[in-house]
Amino acid sequence: MTPTVSIVIPTHNRRELLLRTVRTALAQHAVAVEVLVVDDGSTDGTADAVRALGDPRVCVHRHERPVRVAAARNSGAGLARGAWIAFLDDDDLWSPAKLAHQLNAVSTTGRGWVYAGAVEIDAGDRLLGGDPPPSPEALVAGLPRGNLMPAGCSNVMIRAELLRALDGFDLQLRHLADWDLWLRLAAIGPPACVPLPLVAYRSHEGQATLDPDGMMAEGRLLEARHGANLNSIRRWRAWSHLRRGERRLAVRAYARAVLAGDVSSLGRAAVAVLDPSPATFRVPRPGRNHEWHRAAAAWLNPTREP
């Protein structure tokens, strides 16, 4: 059977996290899927572990040497047989209704790409946050100011022919290839949106290496291409310094953002100076959407290993 949706999962040395992620991809309700796991030079037995699942819908494509995530995603997309391609990072999780809701949304609107809502979880699946996503109009309007896509690539499904017409992810970009792709897609037309919490984005210590200088260099490319505002990169740079305990460098990065017009970074700088654990500080938001979190927990809890 030809799949409707090809799910592309790039991975590198995250075997245990990956296996759970693959299971949530395979658990999609009422959608014919194939799961394309792109093993980007793993040394932890990832490919064998995925093949051991024994599901004919899963295909492992292995790079003997790592080529980085943008190229890995493009490799998977190049193998896709589905009319739609959905990306999923190897540490994130999906609701079993995610793809069905998204297919319904694109069928209703006729649009070529679609996203949903998300929540953030930690390594132990504790809910850290998450709110309803911006509307398509707000997302498109706000993308030049920052990557507003909830949960990044794990959220987005794109018509395969549209992705190929855009030549996929830009291999020049290591950190901001997804933001660049959303900006190129938005220039063609707005996405559809499913305003439900269908993706769990995992925040943990094993995530991508902090590279503030590389982020800024890529941000300047996006500034030249799309008129992207670099203040979101400056804030990310400050946060990366905080994660490494470099408060003084974080304050300097926030100061640069303030000088560039980002008044909100004044408050962030104060947190960097005064809070005992600034890298984990979260501003309490009145009226936080508890129903949103409960809706996510309803599907997230059954995905836990017994």
For 126-147, what is each residue's pLDDT tens digit? 898 899 999 999 999 999 999 9
- CA torsion, points 231, 236, 240, 243, in degrees to nearest 10? 120
Residues 38, 92, single domain; the answer is yes
pLDDT of residue 283: 43
Query: 118: which strand partners?
Result: 199
Residues 64, 192, single domain; the answer is yes
Residues 134, 241, single domain; the answer is no
**Total number of domains in the chain:** 2
Contact at 8 Å (CB) between 254 and 265? yes
Residues 167, 23, single domain; the answer is yes
Residues 154, 49, single domain; the answer is yes
Residues 197, 179, single domain; the answer is yes
Residues 93, 11, single domain; the answer is yes
pLDDT tens readout for residues 204-215: 665 555 677 888
Is position 287 within any domain?
Answer: no
Indicate the pTM of the whole model: 0.89
254, HSE (Cβ side, Cα atoms, 13 Å): 22
Res 244 pLDDT > 80: no
Is position 286 within any domain?
Answer: no
What's the rounded mean pLDDT across residues 70-97?
Answer: 97
CA distance 48 to 44: 9
pLDDT of residue 268: 61
Query: Is the Cα dihedral 208, 212, 213, 216 positive or negative?
Result: positive
pLDDT tens readout for residues 180-236: 999 999 999 999 999 999 999 998 665 555 677 888 899 999 999 999 988 888 877
Tokens of 193: 């949106």
Is position 285 within any domain?
Answer: no
Residues 198, 225, single domain; the answer is no
Residues 142, 197, single domain; the answer is yes
Is position 22 within any domain?
Answer: yes
Is position 32 within any domain?
Answer: yes
Residues 86, 175, single domain; the answer is yes
CA distance 123 to 110: 37
Query: Which domain range does residue 223 map to?
Result: 212-280
Residues 60, 128, single domain; the answer is yes
Angle at 259 between CA 255 and CA 265, to 5 degrees: 50
